[in-house]
């Protein structure tokens, strides 16, 4: 177990390094000369070649690329992601002030998904090919195909514009969270329902379940005490993998509902062409994603010890 | 007699078998039918569309659905139905381009990685790992954001992100196929590596690729619409479904049809590809049945 964890952490360090190289090199694809852009930002449109050269030297942009990267990485490791062009605030501060909103939204979305997926998945699995099963599987396919931005708009249309029950924009209390959480959670609910169902069906076909039934245990006990525990193991992985989808969805949901999270920060910074902030957001989101995946992998190995051996 | 034998041989050909089973898969058939209709709509768009998709008519702003404009008009008086019809061209084009580039790149690199092994395998798969370390749309968002908003950049971004899953799946299948006896047999006969890879190994790893590409169409169309919805993809006046939805947001109170119809178009299209993809998966590879995309 321990050696597995150590190996996974080693792999993570490698991935994080690669992630940093990719995010760093992104800036070199920005059309135009960054030194010139920053100089214009600071000193206005009328700038001389000397000013540009000065800015270039000051930012270290005249050094070889690998030195620039090394310099940048040292700063990043010390928590210095640079300063936003637009607000002049440290990028890390900008991100950290937005982080709680995104985490709250993601957790709420996940909650919505699991509250729907686990019961519906179990019911579908225990009544395979019944009308209920067919209906919920069709619903799941619909949920996968429904774009979250359209769902969000429809929810606003119905619950806010038509019925006037829920607020549309901002983050001022729990009632502001309901529509964004449903919007975000639906896609994940659809995928997770299918997984719970198939995993439950597989577990229910195993010998130990037959043994439990043969011992005369009530069906309810067999399903909820014996089968569910094992059926939920793969769900842990999907929850981790779905974290990416949640982050992606959060970008859209935060834009639609004016939710002040990292996703909206990223989109705003793209439109403001605030490249340092874009870079910071991407790096932060990717690092978060890699870390969550690590935690998921480790907890999965803990739940199902066979994994450690198979991975070798 | 001879006729019977050829017919028996024919019916045992894998492609015939697939079509036979596809005919029995109701959802897959529905999906295929919708896609067929979509393709015709896209090809014949200029002839079917009742109005010009970009012509503005400020006297007809925000009209509700009527016989003249079955889906109403938008804030610039443009016919929404005509824009939706022309929008099918944009979405299908993006889907085909991105899935085409991503799958060809991914399959080729996966094939090479799996077949060659060693250093090149290590290199390709580590790049795949790295790209998969980013949530896909977010990386695409960043690429499109840095290069500037345009449909072309969205396609590029989605292709850069998309090839990895093909490479991974193909490599896995190649690893098992290349150990099979028939590959050894062809090698002994003196076939070159390239010939073995593309003529003998490739056909045996195509089943999951076809499934992935079909589901990938759904995924790419949805992602491109999302990026356009955010304003990073199609630029006005291009009739693109995602950006039409974005335009409609400001008029939700007074003209909800601006939000309803483009969303419906996206959903039906994505649903159709998902139906077909799920069906193909059941038929081509039962083991993949419940696998996540």
Domain B27-43+76-292, CATH number (from 2.70.210.12, 1.10.3720.10, 3.30.360.10, 3.40.50.2000): 1.10.3720.10
Q: Is some CB atom of chain A closer than 8 A to the CB atom of B147?
A: yes
Report whether pLDDT(A311) > 70. no
pLDDT of B269 higher than 90: yes
Contacts of B241 in chain A (CB under 8 A): none
Are B142 and A248 a contacting pair at CB < 8 A? no
Spatial contact of B42 and B292, defined as CB atoms under 8 Å apart: no
pLDDT of B196: 87
pLDDT digits (tens, 9 = 90+) for A150-182: 888 888 888 877 787 877 777 777 778 888 999
Confidence of residue B286 (pLDDT cuts 50, 70, 90): low
Whether residues B222 and A147 touch (CB distance < 8 A) is answered with yes
Please tell me if residue B29 touches chain A, with a CB cutoff of 8 Å: no
The pLDDT score that the predictor gives to residue B7 is 59
In this complex, do B259 and A157 lie within 8 Å of one another by their Cβ atoms? yes
What distance in Å separates the CA atoms of residue B190 and residue B197, rounded to the nearest whole number? 13
pLDDT for B290 equals 43
Q: Is B230 on the interface with A (CB under 8 A)?
A: yes
Contact check, Cβ <8 Å, A156/B252:
yes
DSSP string, B145-165: HHH-S-HHHHHHHHHHHHHHH
**Average pLDDT of B129-147?**
83
Q: Do B137 and A251 touch (CB under 8 A)?
A: yes
- End-to-end, the C-alpha distance of chain A in Å comes to 11
Cβ contacts (< 8 Å) between B248 and chain A: which residues? Answer: 153
Which chain B residues are Cβ-neighbours of A269 within 8 angstroms?
145
Question: Per-residue pLDDT tens for A5-15?
Answer: 888 888 888 88
pLDDT (tens digit per residue) in B73-99: 777 878 888 888 998 999 999 999 999
Closest to A249 measured CA to CA, from A59, A133, A140, A102: A102
Q: Which residues of A touch B249 (CB under 8 A)?
A: 153, 256
Give the residue from chain B lying closest to A200, CA to CA: B290
Residue of B nearest to A244 (CA): B135
DSSP annotation of A32 reads S
- pLDDT at position B3: 63
The tens digit of pLDDT for each residue in B152-173 reads 889 998 999 899 999 999 998 8
ipTM: 0.81
Q: Which residue among B137, B146, B232 sits closest to A248, beta carbon to beta carbon?
A: B137
In the predicted structure, residue B180 carries a pLDDT above the cut 50 = yes
A16-20, A225-229, B184-188, B256-260: the lowest-pLDDT one:
A225-229
List all residues 6 or more positions away from A33 whose beta carbon is below 8 Å from its beta carbon: A52
Identify the band that residue A233 occupies on the pLDDT scale cut at 50, 70 and 90.
confident
Segment A107-125, tens digit of pLDDT: 999 999 999 998 999 889 8
Helix, strand or coil for residue A80?
coil
CB-nearest partner of B230 from A19, A29, A267: A267
Q: Output phi, psi for A33, to 5 deg.
A: -95, 115
Residues A14-24, mean pLDDT to the nearest whole number: 87
pLDDT at B54 over 80: no
- Choose, out of A22, A147, A257, A285, the residue to mutate when testing the contact with B (most B CBs < 10 Å): A147
Partner residue facing A30 (CB), from B146, B231, B266: B146
Chain B residues 116-145 within an 8 A CB cutoff of chain A:
126, 129-131, 133-139, 141-143, 145
Percent helix, strand and coil across chain A, each to the nearest 5: 80, 0, 20
**Residue (of A212, A162, A154, A144) closest to A179 by Cα position:** A154
User: Does B289 contact A251 at a Cβ distance shorter than 8 Å?
Assistant: no
CB of B232 within 8 Å of a chain A CB? The answer is: yes
Interface contact A15-B148, CB threshold 8 A: no
Peptide bond preceding B155 in cis form (omega within 30 of 0) = no
Structure tokens at A9: 């952490």
What gap in Å lies between CA B227 and CA B154, rounded to an integer? 7
- For residue A10, the surrounding DSSP H or E stretch is helix A2-26
pLDDT mean across residues, chain A: 83
Contact A275, B146 (CB under 8 A): yes
The rounded distance, in Å, linking the Cα atoms of B62 and B74 is 5
Whether residues A252 and B270 touch (CB distance < 8 A) is answered with: no
Q: What percent of chain A has pLDDT over 70?
A: 98
How confident is the prediction for chain B on average, in pLDDT?
Answer: 85
DSSP code of B287? G
Chain B, window 36-75: residues with a beta carbon less than 8 angstroms from a chain A beta carbon: none
Higher-scoring residue by pLDDT: B63, A72: A72
Q: Band of the pLDDT at B34, cuts 50, 70, 90? A: very high
Q: Give the pLDDT band of residue A145 (cuts 50, 70, 90).
A: confident
More confident residue, B3 or B198: B198
Whether the per-residue pLDDT at A231 is higher than 50: the answer is yes
What pLDDT is attached to residue A307? 61
Whether B130 and A15 lie within 8 Å, measured CB to CB: yes
To test the contact with chain A by mutation, choose from B25, B138, B263 the residue with the greatest count of A C-beta atoms within 10 A, namely: B138
Task: Return the residue in A31, A32, A145, A294 with the most chain B beta carbons within 10 A, the one to mutate for interface testing.
Answer: A145
In chain B, domain spans:
27-43+76-292
| pLDDT bracket for residue B40 (50, 70, 90) | very high
What does the DSSP assignment read for A254-311?
Answer: HHHTT--SHHHHHHHHHHTT-HHHHHHHHHHHHHHHHHHHHHHHHHHHHH-THHHHHH
The alpha-helical segments, DSSP class H, found in B189-292 are: 193-195, 202-229, 241-248, 257-284
DSSP letters of A126-148?
Answer: HTTTSHHHHHHHHHHHHHHHS-H
Instruction: Give me the pLDDT at residue B105, please.
Output: 96
Nearest CA-CA distance, residue A219 and chain B, Å: 25
The residues pairing with B73 across neighbouring beta strands, listed in sequence order, are B79
Q: What is the mean pLDDT of residues A131-145?
A: 86
């Amino acid at each position: 177990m321990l050696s597995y964890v150590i190996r996974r952490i080693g792999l993570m360090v490698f991935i994080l390094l690669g992630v940093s190289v990719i995010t760093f090199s992104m800036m070199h694809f920005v059309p135009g000369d960054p030194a010139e852009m920053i100089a214009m930002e600071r000193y206005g449109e009328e700038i001389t070649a000397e000013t540009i050269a000065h800015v270039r030297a000051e930012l270290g942009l005249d050094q070889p690329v690998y030195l620039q990267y090394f310099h940048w990485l040292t700063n990043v490791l010390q928590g210095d992601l640079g300063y936003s062009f637009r607000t002049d605030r440290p990028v890390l501060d900008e991100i950290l002030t937005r982080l709680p909103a995104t985490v709250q939204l993601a957790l709420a979305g996940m909650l919505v998904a699991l509250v729907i997926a686990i019961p519906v998945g179990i019911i579908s699995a225990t009544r395979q090919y019944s009308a209920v099963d067919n209906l919920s599987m069709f619903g799941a396919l619909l949920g996968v195909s429904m774009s979250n931005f359209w769902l969000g708009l429809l929810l606003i249309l119905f619950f806010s514009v038509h019925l006037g029950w829920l607020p549309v924009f901002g983050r001022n209390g729990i009632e502001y969270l309901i529509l964004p959480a449903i919007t975000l959670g639906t896609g994940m609910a659809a995928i997770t329902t299918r997984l719970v169902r198939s995993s439950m069906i597989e577990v229910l076909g195993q010998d130990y379940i037959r043994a439990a039934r043969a011992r005369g245990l009530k069906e309810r006990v067999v399903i909820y005490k014996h089968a569910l525990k094992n059926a939920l193991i793969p769900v842990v992985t999907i929850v981790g993998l779905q974290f990416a989808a949640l982050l992606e969805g959060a970008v859209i949901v935060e834009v639609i509902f004016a939710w002040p999270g990292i996703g909206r920060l990223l989109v705003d910074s793209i439109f403001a062409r605030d490249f340092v902030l874009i870079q910071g957001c991407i790096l932060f989101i990717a690092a978060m994603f890699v870390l969550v995946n690590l935690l998921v992998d480790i907890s999965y190995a803990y739940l199902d010890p066979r994994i450690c051996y198979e991975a070798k | 007699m001879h006729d019977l034998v050829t017919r028996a041989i024919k019916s045992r050909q894998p492609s015939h078998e697939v079509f036979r089973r596809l005919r029995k898969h109701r959802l897959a058939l529905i999906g295929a039918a919708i896609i067929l209709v979509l393709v015709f709509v896209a090809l014949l768009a200029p002839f079917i569309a009742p109005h010009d998709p970009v012509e503005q008519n400020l006297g007809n702003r925000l009209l509700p659905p009527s016989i003249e404009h079955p889906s109403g008009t938008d804030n610039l008086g443009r016919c929404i139905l005509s824009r939706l019809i022309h929008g099918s061209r944009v979405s299908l084009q993006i889907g085909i381009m991105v899935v085409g580039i991503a799958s060809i790149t991914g399959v080729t690199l996966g094939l090479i990685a799996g077949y060659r092994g060693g250093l090149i395998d290590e290199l390709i798969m580590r790049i795949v790992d790295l790209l998969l370390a980013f949530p896909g749309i977010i990386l695409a968002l960043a690429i499109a954001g840095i290069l500037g908003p345009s449909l072309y950049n969205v396609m590029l971004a989605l292709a850069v992100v998309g090839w990895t899953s093909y490479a991974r799946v193909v490599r896995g299948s190649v690893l098992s196929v290349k150990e099979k006896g028939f590959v050894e047999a062809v090698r002994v006969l003196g076939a070159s590596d390239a010939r073995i890879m593309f003529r003998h190994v490739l056909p045996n790893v195509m089943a999951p690729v076809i499934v992935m590409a079909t589901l990938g169409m759904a995924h790419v169309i949805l992602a491109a619409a999302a990026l356009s919805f955010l304003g990073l993809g199609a630029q006005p006046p291009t009739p693109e479904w995602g950006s039409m939805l974005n335009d409609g947001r400001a008029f939700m109170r007074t003209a909800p049809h601006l939000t309803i119809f483009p969303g419906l178009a996206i959903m039906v299209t994505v649903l159709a590809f998902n139906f077909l993809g799920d069906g193909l998966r059941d038929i081509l590879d039962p083991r993949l049945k419940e696998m996540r995309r």
